[in-house]
Structure 1
Amino acid sequence: MIDFLKKLFKLPFRKVAKNAAKSHLTPEANRKRIAQDILILAILVFTVFIVRFSWLVVTDSSNGVKLSERATANYSETVTIFAKRGSILDREGTPIATDSSDYSVYVILDKAYVSGDGKKLYAAPADFAKIAKIFKDKLELDESYTKEQLSREGVSQVEFGTKGKHISYTNKEEIEEAAKAVGITGIGFTSHLARSYGGNFASNFIGLAGLKDGDDDTKGLVGQFGIEAALDDILSGKNGVETLEKDKNGQALQGVAKSIVPAKDGEDVYTTLSAPLQIQLEQLIDTALENSGAEEIVATLVKANTGEILATTQRPTFDASTQTVIGPKNDKKSDKENLFYQMNFLYQTVFEPGSTFKVFTLGAAIDTNKFSANSTYVSAPLEVADTIVRDWDVEDVPSGNRMTYAQGFAHSSNVGMSNLQKAMGDEVWDDYLKRFKFGVPTRMGVIEESFGNLPEPNIVAQVNSSFGQGVSVTELQMLRGYTAIANGGEMLEPHFISKIANINDNTERVTKREIVGKPISENAADSVLKYMVGVGTDNVFGTAYNWFAGEPYFRVGGREVSVKTGTAEVANPTGGYYKGLTSYLYSAVAMVPAENPDFIFYMTVKLPSNWTLAFISDVANPLLERAYELKSSLDTQVTSNDRVKEAKITLKDYKGKAPGLTLEQLRRLILKPVVIGSGDAITEQSIEAGTKLGANERILLLTNGEITMPDIYDWSKQDVETLAKWTGLEVIFEGDDVGKVTEQSIKMNEEVKKGLKLTVTLK
């Protein structure tokens, strides 16, 4: 710009001088001529400035720099107000995951770094060996690597890779004390936003949250897996901004804000987990793993009458505070690789359950009047098409034992269950598998939940599924099915959210039990519990009776325990099944007491190096005893404080959305969604978008697929009327004018046609 003006001024003056020399005008005439030229020059320069100024005003930029932003920066500064990530807590408010800080370590090498009085604040070469020794002891850093980093030329400070990051406050203090003890200076720490966990506490279930982009704190924390990832939108909150005024020296005036958009902290999630029970379960499973040498163990305790998950764990797992793997692992991988390779065995892996599945076979057989407790049969090998079904003790008794069907259940007889399945028939048995919702994820609000598979539609697969082979399930699906046995046929959706508290608005949403169907009658469910008692007490046939000790394996304070054991073949990834003396998946389910159970405990032990049922009962018995010690607090319903309002959510429009993902989203909002039809997109919803809803409201979602009759047990009259409107059913209501559905004339899975009459009993 300056060069341009110099040229602009220079050219006219040359012209003026030249003209004056040519004209030989009088001095007065020259002065007039020069005055005219200067006026023209002034007008020209003024025009240039006006054009340039207008251009800057219009474009707000110069050489690619936004002028308004540069100007604003001279007298104000905008900073981010970081939102606090919501905490994850147990049912009583004990913290499980909270925001905190961790540290990365560095060492200063710049010899110019000294204090005001000249004291050395850097690390000298003579200190390197001592620093390497401290880092080896406290951070497990290789000493040669530390010395190599410290010996780098031309750097003012050095860092130490991944092992020099994510250091806890306690570990930081230990390093500082060790350095002080030997007179080392120059070791420093940088603080980073982090998540604090309590060691190994349902680690795979809770998951982890970490920085979105390496060590960049400005982008905040994000859930990586587990509940942390599933509930990330609820936990993460929203950052705010604050604009501060600056003084004449450009320094921000703290506390003098021109404008503030406040941060909205994440909501706190109270889980259904009980810290005392979870801690004890972790300790008991450590012992079981050590004694059994198993490749995998999974154990879960559920409150029977609500479906609340009170404690759950698995091996292998990890310590969330140190992110180190606990239990069997592939030693070719690092801890970090093993950590993120792991899955949540509760709901992300499928397996063939074995004889613990016979609980459902017995329930269906009783419900269809195909089970006669005192009828007898011989447990000899049974030919089914091109395969032979054998009992586990057939080598001990080649001709088979004669036993009643009640004894056969206690003895875990495959032949007895096969006979019951054949008596029901493939179509009826398949119908009951669907009533229990096998092959269907719970959609309780977690992510990447596995489906499992129903048996193939052939006689061999159907028969095999009656004793838990040829059908694949998740642990969570098994627990959902067991709630129907424990609750008089009423099946509950397992859940892990107790309540969600919004500290910004002083509101919360509290979860209530959710009935998702009634696959069998109350009589059938209660009868199954009765026959399960014999599995532990029958000193001749019971597989959970300890013949060596002369007592049941499962004993909980003198209470009757309903139990079922299982031994399943384990599929080999290369084909077929594993072979070997203990190459099985061993399992047991225990419900206590046998009448109106309070608790359901389910545990699986995969491919142990040695086996005894005590590996499971030694976990179940003390854990259930402890649960009874805590029963009064566990029975106390979580309720909203009188000063805290119930949070209302605004329902979105879900039309066109995938039903599965929508179910998960709505359950995270503590609603009760039901999908109708087998389609892949939602076409209608029973509650209009934009409606404000409290917690635990049922919402029906119609899809574009084929419609069969859903299980409408516990539905309201309005829900039934909505179903009728969508399907063209003619409904006849019987019983009370208001209430919930207790009976339906069109059974679950039957075809629905327009004009078909549906009789519904309300109570």
Structure 2
Amino acid sequence: MIKLLKNIATFPFRKVAINAGKTRLSPQDNRKRIAQDILFLALLVFTVFIVRFAWIIVTDSSNGVKLRPLAKANYSETTTIYAKRGTIFDREGAAIATDSSDYSIYVILDKTYVSAAGKKLYASSEDFAKVAAIFKEKLGIDESYTRAQLNIPKASQVEFGTKGKHISFTLKEQIEKEAKDKGVAGIGFTSHLARSYTGNFASNFIGLAGLKDGDDDTKGLIGQFGIEASLDNILSGKNGVETLEKNKDGQTLKGIAKSVTPAKDGQDVYTTIDSTLQSYLETLVDTSMQNYTGTEVVATLVKADTGEILATTQRPTFDPSTQTVIGPKDPTLSDKQNLNSQTNLLYQSMFEPGSTFKLFTMAAAIENGTFDPNARYTSTPISVGGTRIADWDVLLNPDGLNMTYPQGFARSSNVGMSKLQMAMGDKVWDSYLNRFRFGIPTRMGVGGEGFGSLPDENIVSQVNSSFGQGVGVTDVQMLRGFSAIANGGTMLEPHFISKIANTDAGTQRISEPEIIGKPVSKTTADSVLKYMVNVGTDNVYGTAYDFSTTQPYFRVAGKDVSIKTGTAQVANPKGGYYVGETAYLYSAVAMVPSVNPDYIFYMTIKLPDHWNLNFISNVANPLLERAYDLKPTIDATSNKSVGKSSNETKIALENYEGKKPGSTLDLLRQQLLQPVVIGSGSVITKQSISPGTKLGANKRILLLTNGKLTMPDIYDWSKQDIDILAKWAGLTVTYDGADNGKATEQSIKMNESIKKGKKLTVTLK
């Protein structure tokens, strides 16, 4: 080999010498010729070298390998600065969801895996029973499954499915100690970026965040559902990059950075939830469900004068730390399948509400002048469009009861409400359904919200809707409507964001109550609250009066409680309605006190195995009592009392022209703005505030669509907003009152058609 290399190295020079010998030139001429050949050869080699060097510079590669990264690696090291996902807090700053780590468990079976001292670091077959026992006790993994995994042929390492993942640090330490005490080797853990939650705590509402790409921590977390998903663009941060210099030995020089692009942490979200009330509600519902079961249960507490959601839960739900299902589930499905099939029942599940809807029938009839508190009727069944309508107690009272309409309301009489609806007429009734915004999602910023549905135009559907059948709602739509009854006719949009804090900038955006209309007057709303008290106190007609104890079911610290109970048929997906003694959706709404209520509590139970109103009252009563114990703190942290922030985050408004109004409403509410859609179109054509304008929180933004224009409810609007509406619609406006006041009355009623030249008179106060 060495001889061969020498021959190759001397080959050009031997060839020159041979050629020189053949020429028979003189030694002087030979030396000259050899010099010329050597010069030519040197130029050729130099040219090849220059071309090769230029090629490397231009292409930054050699033999297909990129050189720049290798060069950088010699003299610098680039690392990712991971951004922190924003924390979700309760209203007082207690953490609900934070960044953390969790662990996946595995067992090493490779018998070559031993320490330098020869100590075995794998699980041997004689330890399999101990491993199975530990996993059964600590993780709930079936022992037969563990043994099957451990006995996989030729496996060097095995994992243990869903139950072997998302293990907390505390549980990891317990397993490690147990394994050490029993002398078991080979159990290991892999750490993953994760999200830490407060157990079962409004789990479906808060939601989950997980790794974007399986077990790859470098890509960070992403919201999967609930608030975590809806507010992902707010909570998610942006990773940064840091490039550090290396010395001649390739060692990183800590603290000496050539360049730094800092990470941008996600913003923190403060919810309106009160942790004490939320935890108590979870406990109360769990206790109640030990005696009663239902396929779906939802319970929510709202602060009446602000629309803040203080506590909300549902069953089925789940524990986010273990991702196991809590409450009723399909036994034919796995826990993971049951979890993935869950929806947020507060705003995604639509249902026929039943008799709690009679609040709105009463409000419409009183406001319209149809209701006469002294008029009497007999509750015998009636026929409407060939359909029989009867009261729930028709078998007990086949000849009907002769009652006043307030007594009929306390008795939850379908016949009485039907008579009021027919006296109003379908057109008037429809106008009130629209004023209370049924059939329209709240768009409070959660996304994926159910729309609900208005009754069909036929006479049977219209009359049935007066007692809550043939009309579709969500829980949050009902709560929105209830807010108008509780607040003297002023309706509020329910909301769940108290504050958004930008920790990097040291700024924040604080939400305020959002007034969205006034469907009825204060006199009407107060009258409905008064009649609701009789539902619990009337010892002859009241459906919430417990005749066995001669006490109202709902009692809160001696305060008068406004109550309405409900029982609704449940639609069967196969057609018609479910049948059976308890094949209903039961519900109740409680507003306390009955004059200027502080709180609204609403709970629904679908298809329980048996029924008693204690199912709801045993949750409502202690929860409302606790809310009054905490009232000073709740009021102190209420958005209404926070006021303006001196370090408010300003956002630049985007251009929403050409966008869909629905998704735009959700986005703007997530930014704590107050959008209003004008017209019934599917595309936004104009916006009242120009793109690029920097806005603080709680600013009203009008969005004009390409659809038919109808008059919105302009209650609480400023003169500036009304002028913009008038310009878009071509209205002629006359104002009565102070220019800096807010609209309290409008001559064109909500949902009336508007066109160019029409006159509008507005009272400002």
TM-score range, shorter chain: over 0.9
Can you list the C-alpha shifts for 1:250-282, whole angstroms capped at 9, x where unaligned? Answer: 343333322211111111111111111111111
Query: Structure 1: how far apart are the matches of 2:156 and 2:583?
Result: 58
| Sequence identity (%) | 69
Report the Cα distance in structure 2 between the residues aligned to 1:387 and 1:78, rounded to whole angstroms.
76
Distance of 1:539 and 1:355 partners within structure 2: 19
TM-score (norm 2): 0.96
Question: What do residues 562-592 of structure 1 show as CA deviations (whole Å, max 9, x unaligned)?
Answer: 1111110000010000111111011111101
Say whether 1:524 aligns with 2:503. Answer: no
Contact 1:308–1:495 under 8 Å retained in 2: yes
Partner of 1:376 in structure 2?
Answer: 376
Kindly indicate whether residue 705 of structure 2 is the aligned counterpart of residue 703 of structure 1. Answer: yes
Q: Is the 8 A contact 1:640 1:646 kept in 2?
A: no
Distance 1:332 1:14 in 2: 88
1:656 aligns with 2:658: yes
Would you say the 8 A contact 2:508–2:645 is kept in 1? no
Task: Report the CA distance between 1:610 and its aligned residue.
Answer: 0.8
- Aligned mate of 1:674, from 656, 673, 676: 676
**For the residues of structure 2 that align with 1:488 and 1:473, how far apart are their CA atoms?**
22
**In the TM superposition, what is the alpha-carbon distance from 1:154 to its structure 2 partner?**
5.8
What secondary structure sits across from 2:314 in the alignment?
strand
Query: Structure 1 pair 7/87, CA: closer, same or farther in 2 (3 Å)?
Result: farther
Q: 1: distance between equivalents of 2:643 and 2:352? A: 45
> Is the deviation greater in 361-370 or in 42-51?
42-51
Please state if 1:229 is matched with 2:215. Answer: no
C-alpha separation in 2, matches of 1:590 and 1:25 = 122
1:292 aligns with 2:292: yes
- 1:169 is matched with 169
1:332-365 deviation line (CA, Å, top 9, x unaligned): 1111111111001100010000000000000000
Query: 1:642–1:612: structure 2 CA closer, same or farther, 3 Å change rule?
Result: closer
Checking the alignment, whether the CA contact within 8 Å between 1:708 and 1:752 is kept in structure 2 is yes
Cα distance 1:335–1:754, how it changes in 2: closer, same or farther (>3 A)?
Answer: same
Which letter does structure 2 place at the counterpart of 1:552? P
Distance 1:642 1:365, change over 3 A: closer
Match of 2:538 in 1: 538
Distance 1:163 1:192 in 2: 15
1:614 partnered with 2:606: no
Task: Provide Cα deviations, 1:167-189, integer angstroms capped at 9, x if missing partner.
Answer: 11121111111111122233222
CA contact (8 A) 1:289 1:297 kept: no
**Which residue of the other structure, out of 740, 751, 763, is the alignment partner of 1:761?**
763
Once the two structures are TM-superposed, the CA of residue 492 in structure 1 deviates from its matched residue by 0.1
Q: Alpha-carbon deviation of 1:135? A: 2.2
- How far the C-alpha of 1:14 sits from its partner, in A, is 6.4
CA deviation vs aligned residue, 1:663-682 (integer Å, no higher than 9, x gap): 00000000000010111111
Change (3 A) 1:148 1:407: closer
Distance 1:559 1:120, change over 3 A: same
Give the C-alpha shift of residue 236 in structure 1. 1.1
Residue in structure 2 matched with residue 603 of structure 1 by the alignment: 603
* Structure 1: stretches of 5+ with no match in the other structure: none
Matches within 5 A, 1:30-109: 30-109=30-109
Which residue of structure 2 aligns with residue 129 of structure 1? 129
Contact persistence 2:166–2:321 (CA under 8 A): no
Give me the whole-angstrom Cα distance separating, in 1, the residues matched to 2:461 and 2:156: 70
Aligned to 2:258: 258
Give the superposition deviation at 1:292. Answer: 1.6
Q: Which amino acid aligns with 2:587?
A: S
Contact 1:202–1:313 (CA under 8 A) maintained in structure 2: yes
Tell me, in whole angstroms, the C-alpha distance in 1 between the residues paired with 2:218 and 2:726. Answer: 53
Compared with structure 1, are the counterparts of its residues 149 and 286 closer, same or farther at alpha carbon in structure 2 (3 Å cutoff)?
Answer: closer
Give 1:9 shift.
Answer: 7.7
**Larger CA deviation: 283-292 vs 109-118:** 109-118
Residue 530 of structure 1, CA deviation: 0.7
Partners of 2:151 and 2:163 lie apart in 1 by: 18
Change (3 A) 1:403 1:122: same
Render the CA deviation track for 1:413-445: whole Å, top value 9, x for unaligned: 111111111111101100110110000000000
Residues 416, 616 of structure 1: alpha-carbon distance in 2 compared, 3 angstrom cutoff: same
Q: Give the aligned partner of residue 694 of structure 1.
A: 696
User: What is the CA RMSD across the aligned residues, in angstroms?
Assistant: 1.9
Other-structure match for 2:464: 464
Query: Distance between the aligned counterparts of 1:755 and 1:642, measured in 2?
Result: 39
Q: TM-score of the superposition, structure 1-length normalised?
A: 0.96
- Is 1:716–1:739's contact at 8 Å kept on the other side of the alignment? yes
Deviates more, 1:530-539 or 1:10-19: 10-19
Deviation at 1:20, TM superposition (A): 2.1
Paired amino acid for 1:164: G
Partner of 1:559: 559
Work out the CA distance in 1 between the residues paired with 2:699 and 2:57. Answer: 56
* Other-structure match for 1:407: 407
**Distance in structure 1 (CA, Å) of the matches to 2:6 and 2:497:** 76
Contact 2:103 2:189 in 1 (8 A): yes
CA deviation digits over 1:101-146, x for unaligned, max 9? 1112233445555445554444344433322332232223344544
Q: 1:46 to 1:236 in 2, by over 3 A?
A: same
Amino acid at match of 2:679: G
Alignment of 1:302-341 (within 5 A): 302-341=302-341
Distance in 2 between residues matched to 1:8 and 1:563, nearest whole Å: 104
Helix, strand or coil for the counterpart of 1:107? strand
Given that 2:510 and 2:645 are in contact with CA atoms closer than 8 Å, whether structure 1 keeps it comes out as no
Between the aligned partners of 2:225 and 2:401, the Cα distance in structure 1 is 50
Aligned partner (choices 741, 750, 753) of residue 751 of structure 1? 753
Asked if the contact 1:506–1:644 (Cα under 8 Å) also holds between the matched residues in 2, the reply is no
Inter-CA distance 541–211: structure 2 relative to 1 (3 Å threshold)? same
Distance 1:543 1:125, change over 3 A: closer
CA distance in 2, matches of 1:175, 1:664: 45
Q: Shift in Å at residue 152 of structure 1?
A: 5.4
Find out whether 1:277 has 2:277 as its counterpart: yes
AA of the residue aligned to 1:660: G
**SS state at 2:499 partner:** strand
Structure 2 unmatched ranges of 5 or more: none
Task: Judge which range, 245-254 or 309-318, deviates more.
Answer: 245-254
Give me the whole-angstrom Cα distance separating, in 1, the residues matched to 2:381 and 2:494.
38
The residue number in structure 2 matching 1:211 is: 211
CA contact (8 A) 2:297 2:314 kept: yes
User: CA 1:163/1:617 → structure 2, altered by over 3 Å: closer, same or farther?
Assistant: closer
- The one-letter amino acid paired with 1:703 is T
Taking the aligned partners of 1:29 and 1:658, their CA distance within structure 2 comes to 92
Q: What number of residue pairs does the alignment pair up?
A: 759
Evaluate the alpha carbon distance shift between residue 189 and residue 370 of structure 1 in structure 2; reply closer, same or farther with a 3 A threshold.
Answer: same
Specify the SS of the correspondent of 1:229: helix
SS in 2 for 1:211: strand
C-alpha contact 2:587 2:604 (8 A) present in aligned 1: yes
What's the counterpart of residue 712 of structure 1? 714
For 1:288, give the aligned amino acid: S
Three-state SS of the structure 1 residue aligned to 2:733 is strand
Contact 1:589 1:603 in 2 (8 A): yes
* Range with bigger deviation, 549-558 or 363-372: 549-558
Aligned to 1:140: 140
Match in the other structure for 1:342: 342
Take 1:317 and 1:40, find their aligned partners in 2: how far apart are those partners?
85
C-alpha separation in 2, matches of 1:338 and 1:401: 47
**SS in structure 2 at match of 1:35:** helix
Closer, same or farther in 2 for the Cα pair 1:748/1:554, shift >3 Å? same
Separation in 2, partners of 1:7, 1:312: 89
